[in-house]
Amino acid sequence: MSIKKSGSSSVIQAQKLVDQLRMEASMERVKISLTAADLVQYCQEHRRSDPLLTGIAASANPFKDKKTCVLL
């Protein structure tokens, strides 16, 4: 019985894989060139508010050390 059980288990797994691949194959794809152009445009429009480009003010930085480290 264990052979039949493991055999049906692999069939179920294979069926799930086939269903997943069919679903992925039927999805509508977006051309990469269009997506890249949209991404560049978005980055250019929002560059003034990007903290990686403009930095964070020391007074607004919650991760700034409160005290300096002093070694004796």
pLDDT in tens, 47-61: 998 888 888 887 887
Residue 65 reports pLDDT greater than 80: no
Max CA separation in the chain (angstroms)? 74
| Count helices and strands in the chain by DSSP H and E runs | 3, 0
Q: What is the mean pLDDT of residues 26-55?
A: 87
Confidence (pTM): 0.38
Distance CA 36, CA 52 (A): 20
Phi and psi at residue 55, to the nearest 5°: 85, 170
